[in-house]
Structure 1
Amino acid sequence: MKTSQQISTNRIVYALAWVLLLWACNSDEQHYTTDAPEPLPVKSDLSRFDNGERVMMQAFYWDVEPRFEWWTTLTGKIEDWAASGIDRIWLPVATKGQSGEYSMGYDPSDYFDFGEFDQHGTVPTRFGTRAQLETLIREAHQNGLEVIADIVLNHNSGGGEEFNPYRNKNTYTHFDTTHGNASGKFDRSYKDFHPNSLHDHDEEALFFEEQDLCHHQPRVQEWLWKGENSIAHYYKDHMKFDGWRFDYVKGFGPWVVKAWNDEVGGFSVGEYWDGNAPDLAQWVEDSGSRAFDFACFYKLDEALDRQKDLRVLSGDMLRKIYPDKAVTFVSNHDTEKDENPENNISVTNKMLAYAYILTHDGYPTIFYSDFENTNYRTGLRALIRIHNSIASGDIEILYQGEKEYIMKRHGSEDNPGLILYMNIGTSNRQHTVSSNWKNTKLVDYAGRTNAWLITDDQGQVTIEAPAHNFAVWSVSEE
């Protein structure tokens, strides 16, 4: 328990720090004289505390522009991203879709046309040519980044019309070299879609009723992952992709993802769009794959936007159940274009949400449009450095109220850890907490405040966070 004398001493030291800071800012020479009572503490080089953790970049947004140049645009950013602490880039669906030059790839037609066949009105995909994609992948690998392919296994588009006896009508389920499959690989007919001779639908919900792939058909399995020339093997062995982001995994059984990963391995994350953490955990258990933590996303949206109550963050999240399987995020290509405010986090609260995911456990994803936004870039770079260094050790919630959330990462013998202070109130706030550091100067590594603090001989300290903002406190340079 902190004594009144200790609290008073702490406040005096804190006040002195602010006086010194203001004096320095108003000084013509902007530095302290040698006889200053206390030199201002400086931040440590966080590379000293490299914890081995990194961050994934979602390297696209919906309807990227300019068309045909996206692979080249990304190639020019790889070196900077690698230096910023990114270790994987998640690319959009890289093959030809029914919408041709306007397709974002989620209407897949030819799984093997990476921008080299003239079909659907174009040779290149919206993103460019196969040669440009291969250049991007090589550049990423040379800079130590893995490349994640977006895989759509639930539905197909862009086939030719044929009579479908299982529906007693014509359906667009005829895929061959002249009907949406110019590569000549994985030709398909109505027999490969639902309903068929095996069953009417997969274990899970349907998406496109007429072109919903049947994953139980042996030849479909052979072309998707089992065969030497399957999509899985071709993408890994020929295109050199390192892992997979599986689209709309509610559209088929989790055994499909498990079978794919058992066959070719690599990083894997599924889009199981559900805010219920136990459901996400069940899918993770059944598939063996990571999953995007929609439960965390919706709790952040609720806490910051809808309820404006940080106590909501005590709710269930995948990262609290399986931290090593949770891929956390603040925004993506779908949420950013969703007009429902409950499906996206507001611009004013994005950095608070990023502060949360980049200091807690789970594997964070940064959205391209956020990182390339000059309003966020500096702050995101700082948070990524924090994540890759001092966001380490067990998590302890020190305080959680309507407007304040304070969390401690305990670090380790060689890593100091951190204290995150989120404040969604309309004024600066302070709170006295117990740290792991005794008689130590603290600074905010997130760069949201220039204040500095000193812990007492019991490790207690009165930390602060600016109004509607956050701070990430840790030890200063010795």
Structure 2
Amino acid sequence: MAEENKIPTEENATMLQAFEWYIPDDHTHWKRLARDIEKYRDIGITALWIPPPCKASSPSGNGYDIYDLWDLGEFDQKGSVPTKWGDKDDLVRLAHNAEKAGVLLYADAVLNHKAAADETERCRVAEVDPENRTRFISDEYEIDGWLGFTFSGRGDKYSSMKWHWEHFSGTDYNAENNKTAIYKILGDFKSWAQSVDNEKGNFDYLMFADIDHSHPDVKKDINDWGIWIAELLSLRGFRFDAVKHFSEEYLKEFITQLKTNVNEDFFFVGEFWKDSLSDMLGYLDRLDGHKFSLFDAPLVYNFSEASKTESFDLRAIFDGTLVQARPISAVTLVMNHDTQPHQALEAPIEGFFKPIAYGLILLRQEGYPCVFWGDLEGISGEYKEEPSCGGQLSDIILARKLYAYGEQDDYFDYPTCLGWVRRGAWDRLNGCAVIVSNAGPGEKRMFVGEEHKGEIWTDVLGWEQGEVHIGEDGNADFKCPATSMAIWVNKDAPGRDQFGKFKPGKGILQGVV
């Protein structure tokens, strides 16, 4: 086939989780992202996963303590007009800048629960065993639950629905006696959702006021919201929080509504956080036909274990992971806001291993990699941390953008040192050779192709000094430092002058102009 008739190779897709838990609650984060969107695009970020944009229970809430879906920082509710991240105008401006820069926007959708109700309401309940929510541990009785949501600051703008006890399936607090428990709300057609994870008997209930997605008014309001926010912000996808805790059947309906009314090619990824490949595959099978992805939790735990285990056998790093079993459905990651230090699902990864882990998700064919803001820009607040990878994570992302294309040849023949080669594509001729070691200095003889004979390759990170001369047979000996990595590319390859230009941490440290 003539080259002019070949399909151009698309640029590699890379997602940025554009927040971390401890970003200051100065209500200017949307401005930071809008200001820096082109900077991220230049290093190879093609999509931003933004935090929950809806009004939380307080001006400091990250949005997972969600109060009002329809308030994007527009109304004076729960102590402020803006959310922690900023006001609606700033969010719309971010969406505009992202679209202009060619960066896709994915919003974090928290559809499992609501928090910070405006009023208590009397309702019938029975307490259930926290370790087995299918087992009642009390008789039926009435409580005063925080279950009335009137949205007085917003009124009826965008949605006239007010939420009451019948729109929820459970709650965790009785205001009558200040008792905390898991209360199953009782009434006609009331039950826990059945299409949820079976941990703890039935894992429908997670926190706050648990939404009953079987109620027709609930379904209509959330479906309408999904279409509204997707069109308002020109969204190209959603990240769904806590999917193992709410109805799979309802999620299918929500997805169908978006594909039918907004965009058939919407991207959907769920947070099904469980170190169980079989459960993850079962979930994906049940959502078959909805083009759904999951974050690869088992891979994160493998990275954590590998970083803490001396001479861990790197050949097993992908064992039991989603990216190995079903790469088309895997969003790969190293850390997120839940697993970062001092969070509930903390999965510590030693600093030396971060570049190795990012190399394994960014420079290989399989999976859709998601970079964590805290690793790229640093972590703020009481638990402040500098950007990972010696401040050069951006260079690993850039190497993915420029060189990680084409066939992949693996050299997984030694327990503490792995190598692989990306052979390039017809219109992206400069591939790369990657080598990682979790022990002493690494070295592998790898084949990059006879078409590269006589070329001189160097490490784009600058961590391994020296040059490699590609032999007449297309082979060469590639090295990396101890407990580190190297990314070898032709020293004359286009784009080599772009490395080292990204300055991490500035999004927080320099404030917003």
| TM-score (norm: length of structure 2) | 0.76
3-state secondary structure, aligned to 1:173: strand
What pairs with 1:261-300 in structure 2 (closer than 5 Å)?
A: 261-265=255-259, 266-287=266-287, 288=290, 289-300=292-303
User: Which residue matches 1:80?
Assistant: 39
Separation in 1 of the partners of 2:98 and 2:86?
17
Matched, 1:371 2:376: yes
Asked if structure 2 preserves the Cα contact closer than 8 Å seen for 1:112 and 1:185, the reply is no
User: Which residue matches 2:248?
Assistant: 254
3-state secondary structure, aligned to 2:11: coil
User: Which residue matches 2:477?
Assistant: 462
3-state secondary structure, aligned to 2:150: coil
Asked if structure 1 preserves the Cα contact closer than 8 Å seen for 2:436 and 2:442, the reply is no
Q: Which protein has greater RCO, CA pairs closer than 8 Å, 6+ apart?
A: 1
Matched, 1:393 2:406: yes
Asked if structure 1 preserves the Cα contact closer than 8 Å seen for 2:74 and 2:88, the reply is yes
User: Which residue matches 1:323?
Assistant: 327
Matched, 1:146 2:121: no
Q: What percentage of aligned pairs have identical amino acids?
A: 25
Of Structure 1 and Structure 2, which has the larger fraction of its residues in strand? 2
Separation in 2 of the partners of 1:209 and 1:76?
35
Alignment match of 1:186 (pick from 138, 152, 161): 161
Most deviating of 411-420 and 354-363 = 411-420
Separation in 1 of the partners of 2:297 and 2:206?
23
- The amino acid across from 2:462 in the alignment is G
What pairs with 1:168-179 in structure 2 (closer than 5 Å)?
A: 168-178=142-152
Of Structure 1 and Structure 2, which has the larger fraction of its residues in helix? 1
Deviations 1:85-133 (A, max 9, x none): 11111111111111x2111110111111111212212121111211111
Alignment match of 1:164 (pick from 117, 120, 123): 123
User: Which residue matches 1:37?
Assistant: none
Change (3 A) 1:157 1:476: same
Change (3 A) 1:86 1:186: farther
Alignment match of 2:305 (pick from 287, 292, 302): 302
Alignment match of 1:421 (pick from 421, 435, 440): 435
- The amino acid across from 1:462 in the alignment is D
Separation in 1 of the partners of 2:208 and 2:49?
29
User: How many residue pairs were aligned?
Assistant: 424
Gaps of 5+ in 1: 1-48
User: Which residue matches 2:11?
Assistant: 52
Deviations 1:220-270 (A, max 9, x none): 111111xxxx11111112343332010011102333333222211322111
Separation in 1 of the partners of 2:479 and 2:232?
53
Matched, 1:128 2:86: yes
Separation in 2 of the partners of 1:351 and 1:132?
33
Change (3 A) 1:242 1:51: closer
Matched, 1:408 2:421: yes
- The amino acid across from 1:301 in the alignment is S
Larger Rg, first or second structure (1 or 2): 1
Q: Displacement of 1:368 after TM fit? A: 1.4
Asked if structure 2 preserves the Cα contact closer than 8 Å seen for 1:173 and 1:211, the reply is yes
Asked if structure 2 preserves the Cα contact closer than 8 Å seen for 1:398 and 1:406, the reply is yes
3-state secondary structure, aligned to 1:422: strand
Gaps of 5+ in 2: 1-7, 127-141, 170-184, 197-202, 260-265, 379-386, 494-513
Deviations 1:9-62 (A, max 9, x none): xxxxxxxxxxxxxxxxxxxxxxxxxxxxxxxxxxxxxxxx96421211111111
